[in-house]
Structure formats: structure tokens, C-alpha cells
Amino acid sequence: IHLFSDANYNLLGFNATYIFSLCPGACGGHGRCNSSTARCQCPQGWGGEACTTRQCPKACSLNGQCDKKGENCQCNPGFLGHSCQLGLRDNNGAGQWWRVSDGNPNTPPRTGSA
């Protein structure tokens, strides 16, 4: 590394620091780099080589299955939501607001309105 500054090249106290990471993409800003293995350690909800792939949340609340990419829940009939947490056949969660469309192209069209 070669650093040069017209204003500071001959002054005392100039200090430059840098970080070199062996892990890909600095672990996407989500994971931690294991420098001894040069592999990312991803937290729950993130996966892939650089922790940049979202993973199915909360095991789809046991009301669905992960898609082939492992990113989105495919909800069983009668369930909606990012993690299939909203049951349509019971009164669980009544009186609460639920976000049923999260930009996931697999989320069915609006099921009702008030």
C-alpha cells in the first residue's frame, strides 16, 4: 500500500490503518468473519457464503415449508404472513394488524379488506 499526501508527507504523527478480511464481502454486514477458516459465521435468518441470503424465518412457524432457495416460506393452505404465522381459520391474533404482503412474489393477492 502506498499512501501519499502533499500536506502530510513530511509531518510526524501521520498514521494510516486498514483492515484486511479473508472472508467474502465482509460477511455482508450481517455475519462475523472467522479469520482462521476464512469463512463467515452467519446469524440466524441469514445464510450463504457471505451471509447475504435471507433464510426462512422461524421455520415457517411449522405452517409451511421453505422454498427451494431457502429464502421464502411457502405457506400451507389457511396460513399467511412472512413466516406463515397468521392462521385464517381461527381467531388467533384477532384485533391486531398483520402485514400480509411483504414484497414476496409468492404472497397471494389481497384476501380481504375492511
Per-residue pLDDT, 34: 92
Domain positions in the chain = 1-54, 56-109
- Residue 23: all three cell numbers together: 472472508
Question: Are 24 and 50 in contact, with CB atoms under 8 Å apart?
Answer: yes
10-44 pLDDT, tens digit per residue, is: 666 666 666 667 888 889 888 999 988 999 999 98
User: Hey, which of 57-61, 74-78, 90-94 has the most confident mean pLDDT?
Assistant: 74-78
| 3-state SS, residue 79 | strand
User: Could you confirm whether domain 56-109 is CATH 2.30.30?
Assistant: no
pTM of the model: 0.46
Identity of the residue numbered 45: G
